[in-house]
Amino acid sequence: MAKSNVWLSVSDLRTGLMIVFLFVSVAYMIRVKEEQTPLTQYVENKTELRDKLVAEFKVESRQGRLSISGDLTMRFENAQTLFEQGKDELTTEFKKELANCMPRYLNLLLNASMRDKIREIRIERHTDDVPYPGLDPDPYFANLILSQRRALKVMRYIQSMPEYQAYSEDDRKQLEFWFTVAGMSFGRALDERSNYVYVSCSEIDKNKSRRVEFRLITSGEEMLEEFIKKNK
């Protein structure tokens, strides 16, 4: 009888340990899932947005008129068709390109399925390192002034388009909330392989460096930032 009680106790102990192990495993799985959610959301948002952008602008991309990168940047980099050297007025060719692309771009982002995934649309104007003493004796600051003026002109032209004016007041307010404008000077100039000169230590490619970029920041990035803050 005593021996039977011993085996019963051992059996109960094993059962108890299995239950504890089960609870620990479930708790661990829940914790892992919670930790993966922001990262998963971030990746899914970017992948979905990129796929839609690539599909929408596949013709323009194939013709080399623009490119869509993995970080959700739409890049116009045909320098000769953007602005005249040293000036901040958009060329006729660039106005036509924006008139063709921007309504489609904005309609895609304003779509109900995409709207909650966007946090910011950043217009970045980049330059080469040609000095402009008339703007500033320092080449970097001279190009900072020039690139900021150009970025503002891009924003002004977009807002002047009939398609933009036809948006509802709510849509225009949403776009105003999303849009930011940045003149980048030549701090992120590119080499012939479209890598940052600062990183590659290669020679600057002036034509590739003179570009306009529309960079999307997603709501998933905001979730990821909050997660990182909470887990520091």
Residue that wins the pLDDT comparison between 33 and 56: 56
On whether residue 10 sits in a domain, the answer given is no
On whether residue 208 sits in a domain, the answer given is yes
Instruction: State mean pLDDT over 10-30.
Output: 62
The total domain count for the chain is 1
* CATH code where residue 93 lies: 3.30.1330.60
Predicted local confidence at residue 15, as pLDDT = 67
Predicted local confidence at residue 178, as pLDDT = 97
CA 163 to chain centre: 23
Helix crossing, 92-110 with 169-178: angle to 10°?
110
On whether residue 5 sits in a domain, the answer given is no
Report the chain's mean pLDDT, rounded to a whole number.
86
Instruction: Compute CA distances 118 → 123, 173, 211, whole Å.
Output: 14, 14, 23
Predicted local confidence at residue 14, as pLDDT = 65
On whether residue 220 sits in a domain, the answer given is yes
Summarize pLDDT for 71-103 with one digit per residue, the tens: 999 999 887 889 988 999 999 999 999 999 999
On whether residue 119 sits in a domain, the answer given is yes
Print the domain residue range for 160.
Answer: 37-230
Q: In sequence order, what are the beta bridge partners of 67?
A: 75
Per-residue pLDDT at 229 exceeds 60: no
Q: Point out the least confidently predicted range of 16-25, 69-78, 105-114, 179-188.
A: 16-25
Per-residue pLDDT at 169 exceeds 80: yes
Summarize pLDDT for 99-150 with one digit per residue, the tens: 999 999 999 999 988 898 899 999 999 999 999 999 999 999 999 999 999 9
On whether residue 69 sits in a domain, the answer given is yes
Per-residue pLDDT at 23 exceeds 70: no
Instruction: Read off the pTM.
Output: 0.79
64 sits in the region (left: phi over 0; alpha: psi -120 to 50; else beta) called left
On whether residue 11 sits in a domain, the answer given is no
Residue 166's CB: how many other CB atoms inside 10 A? 10
